Amino acid sequence: MQPADLTTLVALTHELNTACVPARLEQVHQSDRHTIHLQLRTLEKKQWLLLCWHPQSARLHLCAPPPKQPDTFTFSQQILHQVAGLALVNVKLTSPWERVVDLQFANRPDDQVQWHLYLEVMGKYSNAILVNADGEIVTAAHQVSNKQSRVRPIQTGDRYELPPALLEAIPSLNESFESWRDRLILIPKEIKRNLLSNYRGVSSSLVRSLLAIADVNGEQNVADLTLMQWEAIYRAWRVWLTCIDQKQFSPHLEDKGYALIPSSSADLELADPSKSSLLVNTFCDRYYSQQTGQVAFQQLHQQISQAIHNQLAKLNIKETEFQERLKLSAQADEFKDKADLLMAHLHLWEIGMKEIKLTDFHSSELVSIPLDPTQNAQQNAQSFYRKHQKQKRAAIAIAPLLEAVQQEIAYLEQVSTTVSLLEQIELSALQEIRAELTQQGYLKVTAEYASRLKGQKNTQKNTKGGKNKNSRSKQEETPDCHRFTTANGFEVWVGRNNYQNDLISFRIAGEYDLWLHAQEISGSHVLLRLPAGAIADDQDLQTAANYAAYYSRARQSDQVPIVCTTPKYVFKPKGAKPGMVVYTHEKIIWGQPSSLRNP
């Protein structure tokens, strides 16, 4: 993910001043420990402004309304308490070449500024700080103690000081080509490193864009560059500075991120400022929403996968131990047979015998029976009888334990299959799996997640009347599952996780629907929705079976046996985990997942 650099902040603050100033601050909502949303009301409409101080994605831009979930963070509540109802009168950088954004609030647009909300976009040192008119820090997203930083501690009640000023040269359109090149060529290093280290406001992404425009390899040493290459880089440099000066930007995606500057001065002249009032804000909202969603998905996916892998490893060890103990318990009958033989041949025993060979009753073969020489024949037989009873009791005790472990393994393999089939755009489905595993005790409850759960419970507890219950039931009955259509227009619903699997199997499924699942293979529950009186033909059943096979662990197989039955013959055993069912009256359809795989 590309961090927001100075160029991005200049573009964003310019657009925000045009679109959001002045505006009344009405709401403050913190969605996580690095992001707050400010609801601003202008004369025309309401807008949400996102401020993020995450180390990899610090930024600010207009965005969609935040998700409706309880806000349990004190930072947002303190901002709301102090600043709610005031007017946002200015959004600017504290210095033209510094990455600190100052959001200024006053009682009225022409009044003296009462509050400053500073967003410091500085990588791992990013922060958001609320400061009053006297320059005193009232609250900060991240408190920095004297032990953590002697240079610039940030504590409530301290005087706010701006970050130390940068020492590099300030870029200027008035700088001549010779002066600019002399500065960059002074130390013989790669051109990309010298561009970064000699001027303010230059980021790695900007250097990458400039060198791409100039068609110059960034690894080249400055001493090896030709005059034509220097001139090409200088032209790209001036295009960038012109964008900064004229506040005209052309956001577009690149291979490793995005860029805001056009590829040439000619493209810059063609840009129409009147058509780009919120161009960069909209672009950044879309880019960072997608990128942060992918990062969140990958992190949560890895966390869940690792937890399932570790738990399965423990359960497999347990299963092996129980199976070995059951094998030992199978020797119980042997102990009884030996005891019976001894009791039938007590007259053959002699004092001091360590072993006796007797003819087996059934096979008529000689059986060697070890004896304890300190005991007589009857005592040895009683010892074998005791071992027989002990092994029988062990078998009775271990069998249900083994069955429970095997059921738990089947459940986790089901969840593992579901997780492996999810795509990066299905973050909400993955979060439902996280909630399920947390509820089942497989994942630890983080402080942030516990706080959010507590807020949700309080919200539900404080909600009165039946209106919310009805809306909640309605929402539960329309899960965000996969939906497809057969050739005859019937819908096929496929659960994304166990929560949705249970929902479509036991809450949504109607008496005319058909239920499908891969036979003895972990996978999603599939529902072929049929209206009253409708009959699915072979093509509809084959389509539904193909989806059941595709969304199972056997996705890469050519053919997969799929069970098909009516929902009334699908049952959840008492105490079964989410998504685990039994079924009867099934028939087998061979699904073909290859028909749905991309060529």
Looking at the DSSP bridge assignments, the partners of residue 23 are 88
Q: Which of 487, 560, 548 is nearest to 514 (CA)?
A: 548
> What's the pLDDT at 215?
92
Give mean pLDDT in consecutive 10-residue pieces for the chain, a chain of 599 residues. 92 92 94 93 92 93 89 92 94 93 93 95 94 94 88 91 90 94 92 93 93 93 94 94 92 89 63 63 93 90 94 94 79 78 85 85 82 88 84 79 90 92 88 90 70 52 47 56 93 93 93 94 94 91 95 93 95 90 94 80
Can you tell me the distance from the alpha carbon of 498 to that of 430, in angstroms, rounded to the nearest whole number? Answer: 11
Tokens at 201, concatenated:
């406001």
> What's the pLDDT at 326?
79
Spell out the SS3 assignment of 504-530.
HHHHHCCCCCEEEEECCCCECCEEECC
Tokens at 57, concatenated:
């994605």
Q: Which of 310, 323, 312, 322 is nearest to 408 (CA)?
A: 312
**Cβ–Cβ < 8 Å for 254, 212:** yes
> What's the pLDDT at 112?
93
> What's the pLDDT at 449?
56
Q: Which helix (H) or strand (E) holds 141?
A: none
> What's the pLDDT at 474?
41
